[in-house]
Amino acid sequence: MKPLPTLFRLSLLLLQQQRLFWLAFAFVTLASFLQPFRPFLYRYVIDHPLRQGDVSALLWWGVGLAGLTAFHALIQRGQTLTTQRLAWSITRNLRKQVFDKVLRLSIPTVERFPTGILYTRTLTDTQTLQSTLAETFLVIAGELLQLAFLVGLMFFVDVRLTVVTLLIMPIGIWISHYFSRHIRESFSRVRLYIARMNGYLQELFQSRELTESLGAELTLWQRFQRLNLLYYLSYRRVVGYFALFFPAMEIATLLGLSGVLIAGAYWIYEGETTVGSLVAFTLYQQLFFRPFRIIADQVNSLQMGLVSADRIFRLLDHEGEEVQEGEVPSALPPYDLEIRGLSFGYEAGRPILEGLSLHLKPGRVYGIYAPTGGGKSTLFYLLLGYYQPQAGEIRLGGIPIQCWKKQRLREVIAYIPQEPVLFEGTLKENLTLYEEMPDEVLWQAAEKMGFIEYVRSWDLYQSIGSGGTPLSAGERQLVALWRAALRTPAVWIMDEPTAHIDPETERLIYQRLRYLASNAIVIIVAHRPQAHAYCDELIPLLPACAA
């Protein structure tokens, strides 16, 4: 990771929120000026009213300094509220961009990302960045701005004491640079192991019933222990750097303070400076190293934020987007589906499909059967445009699949997998996918599919849990068929649609296939003999080597 380009892009994001940015900048600037200005006033009070014994003036100065302190507190409150709102605005927009980017990534690109990585980018990384922008990035920017005001006042008060203070600066800069580089590298490893653990736990929790039935708890626990240990070791390395960083910064601060006290005491004795100036510089000495201490305190969040920002930017810059724009047939469905000399393989020299040619027409039900690994799912993904043919072409409505406008293509093709995907929410939300539809339309679709008697007692507003609970496997399959029927597709692709359905419901659904095919093409995986009787044509997918 290169921190400077990442910081530059974060700065551009801040500037996009102009009103909030300039308001936050005004608060930060005013707060940065008030902090070093108070020791300057203390110097005047010590060298004049206090030295002269003017009690009345001391009381007025006390009231004034108390008021200035209260005003400074109000400015700091305004700074906090504004920077928090600015950070939330940026991360809200970034989260939308990341989510939109993930949706536009092609399926082959998504499959190359480890499980859990995209989840981490969308939620964890954006949340980390929000914390960094609100509590670290702008805070450190304010401290550096305060340092600039501080140095200017120090030169105005006493040039020689300022030079003594600045002599320690290279030590503080070197310490910060050395440790920040190593901590940044360590945090990159921490984020890597967090992503791996997220992916592993996601896979594990989704398949808990299977792992328990296989008696694999011990080996899975051991793998988790290894990942947890790697995460612990990477974080312990970060803690080790912190354990050295803080004492090193304290030593630099004490060296600077010792130099100022020794030099200041000598020049007071020589009559070349004042007690007020020395008191001011002892306070300035603490403020001078404050930015370094702030970086030390916030380096955890800063490094994690920079790593998260870099990962987000790399995802947003990824070139694996699916081309969305394309053609749409001028005619309305139904469409013919033509496959000409289709070949495809995931590895060079090992085709899954080779030289496949078919001409599928509306009004017919086609049954496809093939051995395991014979290319059924691959063919379906090619029909949906997820993959591009390596040879030959697929035409729907006279237009090559890859030339279709992708949103319209997915609207005219309904794909029903063996394991339907349901979302946490209500039954109606799972059917409509959050689109506004009258309840009557949903019931009409169920009647069209032929299983209205089985779902009439269902409540459209009942809660569906993660993974489709409490619905059974067969009920989840009915929901998937019901959902597809709402969109009146031109091509139905069903991967064993009745695998988990009782024989009576299975018979009704197969009988309705003829109705579905009246204005569309129906393709089903037909391994079971019961399905063959409802197919107009059976199509074997032979292994590529046999073909």
pLDDT of residue 100: 85
Contact partners, residue 230, CB within 8 Å, separation at least 6? 193
CB–CB of 157/151 below 8 Å? Answer: no
What whole-number distance in Å separates Cα of residue 482 and Cα of residue 499?
Answer: 16
pLDDT of residue 84: 85
The total of other beta-carbon atoms located within 10 Å of residue 258's CB is 13
The total of other beta-carbon atoms located within 10 Å of residue 242's CB is 16
pLDDT of residue 173: 74
Question: Could you report the per-residue pLDDT of 106-123, keeping only the tens digit for each?
Answer: 877 777 776 566 766 676
Per DSSP, 332 falls in state: P
Q: Virtual CA dihedral for 61, 67, 70, 76, nearest 10 degrees? A: -90
In which residue ranges of the chain is pLDDT below 70? 1, 114-117, 119-121, 123, 135, 137-138, 184, 203, 205-217, 292-293, 295-301, 499-500, 542-547
What whole-number distance in Å separates Cα of residue 152 and Cα of residue 343?
Answer: 73
The total of other beta-carbon atoms located within 10 Å of residue 64's CB is 12
pLDDT of residue 338: 93
Per DSSP, 400 falls in state: E
- H or E element at residue 98: helix 55-104
Token match 């209260």: residue? 70
What whole-number distance in Å separates Cα of residue 382 and Cα of residue 376?
Answer: 10
Does the pTM exceed 0.85? no
Q: CATH assignment of 3-316?
A: 1.20.1560.10
Residues β-bridged to residue 327: 404
Question: Could you report the per-residue pLDDT of 138-150, keeping only the tens digit for each?
Answer: 677 777 788 888 8
State which CATH number among 3.10.310.40, 3.40.50.300, 3.30.470.30, 3.90.1150.10 fits the domain covering 337-540. 3.40.50.300
Backbone angles phi, psi at 301, to 5 degrees: -65, -40
pLDDT of residue 300: 59
pLDDT of residue 546: 45
Query: Interior CA angle at 508 toward 506 and 514, to 5°?
Result: 110
What whole-number distance in Å separates Cα of residue 243 and Cα of residue 369?
Answer: 64
Contact partners, residue 286, CB within 8 Å, separation at least 6? 253, 257
- Residue extents of the structural domains in the chain: 3-316, 337-540
Per DSSP, 122 falls in state: I
Contacts of the segment 244-248: beta carbons below 8 A, 24+ positions apart:
244/179, 245/175, 245/179, 245/183, 245/296, 245/299, 246/296, 248/175, 248/179
CB–CB of 186/244 below 8 Å? Answer: no
pLDDT of residue 298: 66
